[in-house]
Amino acid sequence: MSRTADSDLAHLFHPYTNLVKHPETGPLVITRGQGVRVYDEAGKDYIEGLAGLWCTALGWGEERLVEAAARQMRELPFYHLFSSRTHPPAVQLAEMLAAQVPIDDARVLFACSGSESNDTAIKLIWYRNNALGRPDKKKIIARERAYHGVTVATASLTGLVNNQRSFDVPIDRIFHTGCPHYWRYGEKGESEEQFATRRAEELEKLILAEGPDTVAAFFAEPVMGAGGVIVPPATYFAKIQAVLKKYDVLLVADEVITGFGRTGNMFGCDTFGIRPDMMTVAKGLSSGYLPISALIVSGEVFGPIAEEAGRIGVFGHGFTYGGHPVSAAVAVETLKIYAERDILGHVAKVGPVLQRGLAALQQHPLVGEARGVGLIGAVELVADKDSRTAFDPKLAVGPRVVAKAQAHGVILRAMGDAVAFAPPLIISEAEILDMLGRFRRALDEAHGELVGAGAV
């Protein structure tokens, strides 16, 4: 191993890593990036098929973002937004976001990560209902297989077992309703629309069981990301929103992954006809170049919060680095690039290439379902295609395929036996085909091993 790898093993504490096996395998040391590729310390190149962590929308080496950061570092490297202070980058970014989101009279509160913004959303929901004299209307509903973060509160919203086991979460007042994965959970003979109706009815039953006067909000990703890239079935969000409106339950759209062009529109809400009361964004907001996130709320949500802060004398919430001027300046430049280069138009052009390529993989013996929209997608690996039987988790088939893909020079992510694709939005048609070709070779190798082991 290199000195960097040795030092990593001695000193770093890695998230989302098997901390016992990590010393056996060692780290993949990435030293630079350019375009859609990153390079390890030996100089090997990899197509970054997940844009880092769903975030590096403009790829690596975007000099305009580097220069935006450098200019702001020279002019005002830090200031805060506490106590009525402000600075131009935060104001400009808030104005740009308010003009783009599908939220009326939008107000923007900055943080550094999606987890922080979702956590803040929970706090503000509770704060607002106290302001409205509804102290019992505090319960929040998310969905099984949802991902909303890893703070104590947002890990409670997250509907993935490994984000909760041994962490003593979920906390009280958090509930989960069914996952909208039609292929996996649809009943025999049930259409997508019928499945969506059933999921909406299940949500309504949960609200009624808990009491509408106690249920405050519903959190949803337009496309579920870390839960396996679950695209909602036809009519799902229309039916869900009807239930929420009926019982005065706020809708929080988690656009941390889907925002800024990933689904082919600026926001996943635009793609799926969602009109949220609150929205969280991060990742693509700065193309991942610097940490920044935002919680965006409607004027109707903001009003009671402002009144309550006036009664108390202060709005007692905020983060030191929320709206950091350098991060905000980079985010402003990122939004300008999206517009000037017509990134949405590019996604409209190359997104179908990715989706057709994923659909073609459904003919592979290991692939039960291919799904996606825009430049996000996944393949679901199964032991038996006809019965949709999943592999024994001990076989770790998803991680096995992803490791083989990495050996072939493409970095992807396994979420159980779903393998996710979310390349930088600047990816070309040729690069998409190259990425899929490398992945197919990985699938073929894994299939050969599994056949030899009698697992398929």
Q: Kindly report the CATH number assigned to the domain that includes residue 244.
A: 3.40.640.10
Enumerate residues 6+ apart whose C-beta is below 8 A from 90.
81, 110, 323, 325, 328
| pLDDT tens digits along 109-134 | 999 999 999 999 999 999 999 999 99
3-state secondary structure of 356: helix
The dihedral over CA atoms of 228, 410, 286, 271, expressed in degrees to the nearest 10, equals -40
Specify whether 128 is located in the same domain as 273.
Answer: yes
Residue 429, pLDDT above cutoff 90: yes
How far apart are alpha carbons 335 and 331 in whole angstroms?
6
Burial class (CB in 10 A: 0-12, 13-18, 19+), 15: exposed
The answer for 86, left when phi > 0, alpha when psi is -120 to 50, beta otherwise, is beta
Residue 436, pLDDT above cutoff 90: yes
- What is the token pair recorded at 424? 């930088």
CATH at 415: 3.90.1150.10
pLDDT band at residue 202 under the 50/70/90 scheme: very high
**Arithmetic mean of pLDDT, 337-346:** 98
| pLDDT tens digits along 155-168 | 999 999 999 999 99
| pLDDT tens digits along 299-329 | 999 999 999 999 999 999 999 999 999 999 9
Residue 344, pLDDT above cutoff 90: yes
Specify whether 117 is located in the same domain as 251.
Answer: yes
Which pLDDT does position 213 carry in this prediction?
98
Specify whether 335 is located in the same domain as 351.
Answer: no
How far apart are alpha carbons 217 and 248 in whole angstroms?
9
Residue (of 335, 446, 365, 454) closest to 401 by Cα position: 446
Which pLDDT does position 272 carry in this prediction?
98
| pLDDT tens digits along 247-305 | 999 999 999 999 999 999 999 999 999 999 999 999 999 999 999 999 999 999 999 99
Domain endpoint, select from 312, 340, 368? 340
| pLDDT tens digits along 372-426 | 999 999 999 999 988 999 999 999 999 999 999 999 999 999 999 999 999 999 9
Specify whether 77 is located in the same domain as 202.
Answer: yes
Owning domain of residue 28: 3-61+342-452
Pure H helices in 247-288:
268-272
Specify whether 18 is located in the same domain as 92.
Answer: no
Domain endpoint, select from 290, 305, 340? 340
How far apart are alpha carbons 419 and 377 in whole angstroms?
8
Specify whether 180 is located in the same domain as 268.
Answer: yes
Domain endpoint, select from 340, 358, 377? 340
Which pLDDT does position 454 carry in this prediction?
82
Which pLDDT does position 328 carry in this prediction?
98
Which pLDDT does position 345 carry in this prediction?
98
- What is the token pair recorded at 292? 């920044």
Specify whether 329 is located in the same domain as 409.
Answer: no
**Arithmetic mean of pLDDT, 171-179:** 97
For the chain, what is the domain count? 2
Rounded to 5°, angle at Cα 331 from 325 and 336: 130
Residue 456, pLDDT above cutoff 90: no
Specify whether 218 is located in the same domain as 365.
Answer: no
The dihedral over CA atoms of 361, 363, 366, 371, expressed in degrees to the nearest 10, equals 50
Q: Are 393 and 408 in contact (CB under 8 A)?
A: no
Locate the DSSP E strands across 188-309. 215-220, 250-254, 278-281, 293-297
Residue 333, pLDDT above cutoff 90: yes
Rounded to 5°, angle at Cα 310 from 306 and 312: 115
pLDDT band at residue 453 under the 50/70/90 scheme: confident
Specify whether 266 is located in the same domain as 156.
Answer: yes
| pLDDT tens digits along 21-71 | 999 989 999 999 999 999 999 999 999 999 999 999 999 999 999 999 999
Q: 77: cis peptide before it, omega within 30°? A: no
Whole-model pTM: value is: 0.96
Residue (of 133, 136, 140) closest to 119 by Cα position: 140
Specify whether 24 is located in the same domain as 156.
Answer: no
How far apart are alpha carbons 387 and 392 in whole angstroms?
14
